[in-house]
């Protein structure tokens, strides 16, 4: 049984998923199998979905951007799909997607992208593979050039590349250098190096994310 107009029952009081709050089949949807014992399953079969770039923003202090795309019409059912397998993003850069979310109120899909090569002005392609049992009119792939609305998505520091092991190794090598200076009579330089090492350690404990790069550059200028 299917009904393109008329009554349906999908077991909720929400509209936008094909079956309205008053249990009527919504425009561009077809609903199947609604009965007293089983809920209707509604599939969208209206105009093909359209993807556009909504916003591109830089995350403060990170080599990370948030790419947000408008999906039109803003189908509620996209939220119920497996978001991590929904999209395919390919850009002319090195990056990884760490988070994906869909805002059904705004109809926006947001991808959080951590890049290790500049992402600004790069060419990208986005495609969606929506569950065909829920959406029959798929969206065409979107080609776009990344252009940030606030700060450009360029690699400004390599903090993420600094592992704790690398950090400890660098500190130890500065301590060895300090001991070397002390034992050869350059006491002032040796003491300064040790003070810097102490500062770097304290900074690691208090502000592991923010102060590392600043301290490294100050230690290197001392050295």
Exactly one of 19, 109, 139, 215 binds Ca ion (CB under 5 A); which one?
Answer: 19
Q: Residue 55, CB half-sphere, CA atoms under 13 Å: how many?
A: 12
**12 counts as binding Ca ion under rule CB under 5 A:** yes
The burial of 117, by beta-carbon neighbours within 10 Å (0-12 exposed, 13-18 middle, 19 or more buried), is given as middle
Residue closer to Ca ion, measured from CB, 24 or 211? 24
The reply to whether 26 sits near Ca ion by the rule CB under 5 A is: no
- Locate 1 and state its tokens: 């049984």
CB nearer to Ca ion: pick between 19 and 124:
19
- What does DSSP assign to residue 139? P
Q: Candidates 19-27, 43-51, 63-71, 143-151 — which segment interacts with Ca ion by CB under 5 A?
A: 19-27
Size, binding site for Ca ion by CB under 5 A: 5
CB–CB of 148/57 below 8 Å?
yes
Residue 14 touches Ca ion, criterion: CB under 5 A: yes
The distance of closest approach from Cβ of residue 33 to Ca ion in the complex, given in angstroms and rounded to an integer, is: 14
Instruction: Report how far residue 223's alpha carbon sits from residue 204's, in angstroms, rounded to the nearest whole number.
Output: 19
What residues make contact with Ca ion under the rule CB under 5 A? 10, 12, 14, 17, 19
């Amino acid at each position: 049984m299917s009904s393109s107009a008329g009554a349906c029952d999908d077991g909720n009081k929400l509209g936008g998923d094909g079956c309205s709050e008053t249990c009527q089949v919504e425009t561009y949807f077809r609903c199947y199998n609604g009965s007293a014992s089983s809920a209707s399953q509604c599939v969208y079969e209206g105009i093909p979905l359209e993807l556009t770039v909504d916003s591109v923003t830089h995350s403060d202090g990170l080599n990370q951007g948030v790419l947000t795309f408008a999906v039109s019409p803003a189908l509620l059912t996209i939220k119920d799909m497996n978001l991590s397998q929904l999209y395919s993003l390919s850009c002319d850069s090195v990056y990884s997607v760490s988070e994906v979310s869909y805002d059904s109120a705004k109809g926006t899909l947001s991808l959080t992208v951590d890049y290790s090569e500049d992402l600004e002005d790069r060419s990208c392609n986005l495609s969606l593979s929506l569950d065909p049992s829920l959406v029959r009119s798929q969206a065409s792939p979107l080609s776009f050039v990344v252009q940030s609305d606030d700060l450009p998505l360029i690699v400004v520091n390599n903090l993420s590349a600094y592992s704790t092991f690398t950090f400890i190794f660098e500190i130890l090598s500065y301590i060895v250098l300090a001991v070397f200076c002390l034992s050869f009579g350059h006491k002032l330089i040796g003491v300064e190096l040790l003070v810097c090492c102490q500062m770097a350690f304290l900074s690691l404990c208090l502000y592991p994310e923010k102060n590392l790069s600043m301290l490294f550059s100050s230690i290197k200028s001392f050295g």
